[in-house]
Amino acid sequence: MNASSECATDAGVSEQEARDLLEALVSTPSVSGEEREACDLLVAFFEDHGREAWLDEVGNVRAPADDAVLLTSHVDTVPGEIPVRVEESGTTSSSRDQGGETAGGDDGDGGPELWGRGSVDATGPLAAMAVAAVNTGVSFVGVVGEETDSRGARHLVTDREAPETLVNGEPSGWDGITLGYRGLLAGRYVATSESGHTSRPQNNAIQDALQWWSRVEAAFEPGEGDEWSPVFEQVTPKPTSVEGGTSDDGLAVEATMDVQFRVPPAMTTDDVRERVERELNGGSVHWHDAIPPVMTSPRTEVARAFRVAIREAGGDPRLLRKTGTADVNLYAEAWDCPMATYGPGDSDLDHAPDERLPLAEFDRSVAVLESVAQTLGGDA
């Protein structure tokens, strides 16, 4: 084992204290680029429990300890205000008052749920990992910027060596283990044409852009017999913004289109890039991000530890593949170590206006993470 710092784990975190940390973090706005207050709260949590913690150059929360396991999740959320409250069976049973106190509630199935931006993606997994790290003495990092440019994860893989094993925090449900994510290719299409009367039959730049995108979509349509293949195994092309019109000097028509492609493990980002560029018709694409897909084995020691822990907690383990992209894609590209993604919450509620997390599920996820950390090398 590689212990990178001394840690004290005798001051364990209780279930209620864990819930308090979760609600405090969800109540602290942490939109990408504005994570500092939430990061400071995490540093204070670790220091209050005898652990060394600090913010690194890009703002990540670093709490190194036993590197047999690195628990890491992202601090940032997408924008969107959802009033933070705890509701049970559709009625408000408790909420954070001005003093920050939270009333208790039933912690069984169907009991209280914490509403708020980030409760699922990914403050729930983040808080569960922080508690498990304190209670088992393993390493922890809370990274910034996952929802935008993954600057926290990109810095992390260049700033430290690979851990022995890694668990990335994203919602999978307390009984789910995510083993695969599609990759991401992102760029901007740019086209320019001479201005002219709209009665002319020749394409202008806007038409070039629209026709190019139609051809791109057709190029990635499932072939005969593949119509029912899972989305995870397909390329998903998606425009994210479009602008076009006459230039300020009136001499040209311009068009730009920001585009993204989700890339399945059967392909590489280079494969997708080449196919997209074959459809060009006068414009050009300027690529600015390429993250490879990842598919890890269900037979690694991390995956086995999760299956055992979930069964011991009364669950039936589910192995998942996600159609999006996460920081674990970057970790898998940079580090040759066993890894999996895990965390409480229903990923269908990611970024949703009704984002909420059952507190009983949060409790179970903490127990599962602690069991996994202990199995892989943390304190028993």
Q: How many Cα atoms within 13 Å fall on the side-chain side of residue 210?
A: 7
The one-letter amino acid code at 38 reads A
Going 213 to 216 to 221 to 223, the CA torsion angle's sign is: positive
Cβ atoms of 295 and 265 within 8 Å: the answer is yes
Residues 6+ apart with CB under 8 A from 373: 69, 71, 132, 133, 136, 138
Annotation-wise, does 74 bind a ligand?
A: yes
Measured between alpha carbons, how far apart are the two ends of the chain, in Å?
Answer: 15
b/e map 8-17, b = 16+ CB within 10 Å = ebeeebeeee
Token pair in block for residue 307: 């299956």
Torsion of CA 376, 136, 104, 28, to 10 degrees: -90
User: 3-class DSSP state for residue 41?
Assistant: helix
Catalytic residue among 20, 66, 67, 76: 76
Annotation-wise, does 147 bind a ligand?
A: yes
Q: 15: part of which helix (H) or strand (E)? A: helix 15-26
76 is catalytic: yes
Cβ atoms of 190 and 255 within 8 Å: the answer is yes
Catalytic residue among 20, 66, 113, 146: 146
Annotation-wise, does 271 bind a ligand?
A: no
146 is catalytic: yes
Taking CA atoms, 71 is separated from 115, 131, 182, 363, 370, in Å, by: 24, 10, 21, 17, 11
Cβ atoms of 42 and 151 within 8 Å: the answer is no
What is the rounded CA–CA span in Å between residue 190 and residue 257?
7
Annotation-wise, does 97 bind a ligand?
A: no
Cβ atoms of 332 and 168 within 8 Å: the answer is no
What is the rounded CA–CA span in Å between residue 224 and residue 237?
19
Annotation-wise, does 17 bind a ligand?
A: no
Residue numbers in the known binding site for Zn(2+) are 74, 121, 147, 170, 351
The residues annotated as belonging to the active site are 76, 146
Residue numbers in the known binding site are 74, 121, 147, 170, 351
